[in-house]
């Protein structure tokens, strides 16, 4: 185990691609380069708030024991082996081409290689201005940083592919933020998260050179990505094979989001990982009451482009943007289109398997697909708490006696009392479900086991995050520490103190139900 200050960082990306090494952080277009040098802005006083011991163990990094190591986590200190930079990329935002974007408040320090040979990229989010900050300050506040730190790790323990978070520090400075872009700006405590991933490459990294007709740069980036992150792919058709795997990884990620009820909130192409990871935690939320049209992002209203039930379709749209970017170097665009269209079959295959596990079925047959569709339709009408409803479904009695018994069984999950017509629909649904369970080719014990393994009992709800943020800002980290432990066992009853519906006060409260891209 090493101190972070003693690590000899690799700089493969910087060494392998053209970049602007001037260190000039004036906002500007940077054609022809993949990154711009960006040294973190020195902050006043770096204080460690949170540290992931589990991730640190995997990275073979020792918990900071001196201020020098802590200062690195806040960008106050840069070691000689680091060559910090901000990546240049583009993107489609809310369906529109946005042109050059880039790391506006994220600075990569370098790459760390462990004794197993695995390489990780270490990046500070909120470390100051870069050439891509545009008119922003490159900073992050405690509110958004705590949310990213906790959710990155929470998704890991939910078994959802994700970037990770090693540390959360305060900067000892105040940062001005207008949370909802409505003219009510206020100062908030500054903070920085150290994010970790094999790579932070996004669809937008490939869109940028394509948009500038920098075909050689595009080809070089694709070849490097395949060689480094998809080494099992080779041959004459390797680019098509690579794109097909990106399609499959992205489809699988969408299925995992839907399994746990996660809504990303801002699925722009610059927020889509080329490795199929959940990346950039901003106005995210878990679904409380089951609503396919739910979006936590006020910026996404009224269109709800990135609503819970639309995420899979948006992912395919984003993949189409990626396909368009790489098309100039693909010889057979018909095959490229075919790879893109394979998304649907792959997605639905994975989705049906996921729903079989959530419902405790041996498999989802063609006949079952109609039942699953009806199941979700009834839930969208009654709008029970998604997490609690599926937990109660696990313990549903084998025989459903009457409508009253069904209502009493699921009562804990209701935000509003169902109407008579809704009760009838739920009763009929549960009768059908019980009959289907009885025809399983797996034992009831195995069925329940699958349900418990795939339906989380604890999810990091926004109202809990909001409470933790308010407490930490007041100097009380009790809830924050408890949540750090709870996220590690989301399928356990160990933290049933958090097994509860969203309280009524949180339904319309800023920071709980209403978030923005500034969150």
Catalytic site residues? Answer: 270
- Whole-angstrom distance, CA of residue 279 vs CA of residue 202: 9
What DSSP letter does each residue of 429-480 carry, written as one string? HHHHHHHHHHT-SS-HHHHHHHHHHHS-S----HHHHHHHHHHHHTT--HHH
- Which three-class secondary structure string do you get for 264-297? CCCCCHHHCECCCCECCCCCCEECCECCCCCCCE
Structural tokens at position 415: 């935000």
User: Up-side HSE of residue 2: CA atoms within 13 Å toward CB?
Assistant: 12
Structural tokens at position 425: 């629909």
CB-based burial label for 153 (10 Å; 0-12, 13-18, 19+) = buried
* Residue whose token pair is 């679904």: 287
- Whole-angstrom distance, CA of residue 336 vs CA of residue 315: 16
Instruction: List b or e across 482-494, with b for residues whose CB sees 16 or more CB atoms inside 10 angstroms.
Output: ebbebbbebeeee
399-405-406-409 Cα dihedral, nearest 10 degrees: -100
CB-based burial label for 376 (10 Å; 0-12, 13-18, 19+) = middle
Query: Is residue 92 classed as helix, strand or coil in its secondary structure?
Result: strand
Cα-Cα end-to-end distance for the chain: 34
Instruction: Output the CA–CA distances (angstroms, integers) from residue 375 to 402, 425, 427, in the order listed.
Output: 18, 10, 11
């Amino acid at each position: 185990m090493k101190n972070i200050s003693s690590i000899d960082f690799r700089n493969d990306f910087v060494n392998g691609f053209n970049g602007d090494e001037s260190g000039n952080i004036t906002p500007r277009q940077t054609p022809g380069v993949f990154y711009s040098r960006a040294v973190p802005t020195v902050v006043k006083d770096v204080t460690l708030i949170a540290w992931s011991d589990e991730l640190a163990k995997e990275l073979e990094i020792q918990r900071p024991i001196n201020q020098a190591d802590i200062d690195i986590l806040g960008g106050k200190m840069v070691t000689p082996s680091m060559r910090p930079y901000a990546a240049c990329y583009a993107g489609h935002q809310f369906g529109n081409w946005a042109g050059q974007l880039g790391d506006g408040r994220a600075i990569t320090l370098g790459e760390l290689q462990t004794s197993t040979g695995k390489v990780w990229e270490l990046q500070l989010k909120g470390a100051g201005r870069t050439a891509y900050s545009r008119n922003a300050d490159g900073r992050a506040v405690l509110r958004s940083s705590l949310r990213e730190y906790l959710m990155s790790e929470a998704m890991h323990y939910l078994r959802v592919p994700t970037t990770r978070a090693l540390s959360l520090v305060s900067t000892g400075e105040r940062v001005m933020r207008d949370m909802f872009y409505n003219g009510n700006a206020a100062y908030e405590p500054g903070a920085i998260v150290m994010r970790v991933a094999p790579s932070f490459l996004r669809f937008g990294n490939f869109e940028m050179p394509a948009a500038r007709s920098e075909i050689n740069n595009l080809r070089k980036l694709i070849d490097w990505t395949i060689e480094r992150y998809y080494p099992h792919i080779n041959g004459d058709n390797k680019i098509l094979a690579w794109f097909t795997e990106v399609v499959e990884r992205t489809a699988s990620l969408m299925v995992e989001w839907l399994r746990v009820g996660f809504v990303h909130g801002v699925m722009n192409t610059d927020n889509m990982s080329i490795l199929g990871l959940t990346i950039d935690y901003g106005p995210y939320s878990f679904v409380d009451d089951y609503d396919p049209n739910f979006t936590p992002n006020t910026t996404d209203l009224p269109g709800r482009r990135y609503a819970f039930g639309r995420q899979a379709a948006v992912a395919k749209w984003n993949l189409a943007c990626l396909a368009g970017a790489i098309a100039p170097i693909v010889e057979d665009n018909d095959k490229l289109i075919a790879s893109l269209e394979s998304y649907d079959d792959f997605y639905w295959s994975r989705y049906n398997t996921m729903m079989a596990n959530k419902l405790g079925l041996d498999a989802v047959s063609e006949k079952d697909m109609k039942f699953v569709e009806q199941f979700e339709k009834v839930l969208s009408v009654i709008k029970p708490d998604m997490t609690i409803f599926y937990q109660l479904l696990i313990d549903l009695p084998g025989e459903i006696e009457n409508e009253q018994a069904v209502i009493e069984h699921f009562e804990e999950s209701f935000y509003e009392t169902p109407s008579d017509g809704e009760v009838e629909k739920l009763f009929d649904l549960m009768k059908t479900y019980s009959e289907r369970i009885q025809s399983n080719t797996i034992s009831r014990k195995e069925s329940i086991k699958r349900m418990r393994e795939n339906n989380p009992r604890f999810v990091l709800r926004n109202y809990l995050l909001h409470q933790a943020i308010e407490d930490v800002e007041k100097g009380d980290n009790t809830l924050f520490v408890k949540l750090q432990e709870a996220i590690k066992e989301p399928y356990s009853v160990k933290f049933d103190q958090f097994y509860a519906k969203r309280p009524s006060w949180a339904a319309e409260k800023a920071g709980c139900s209403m978030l923005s891209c500034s969150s």
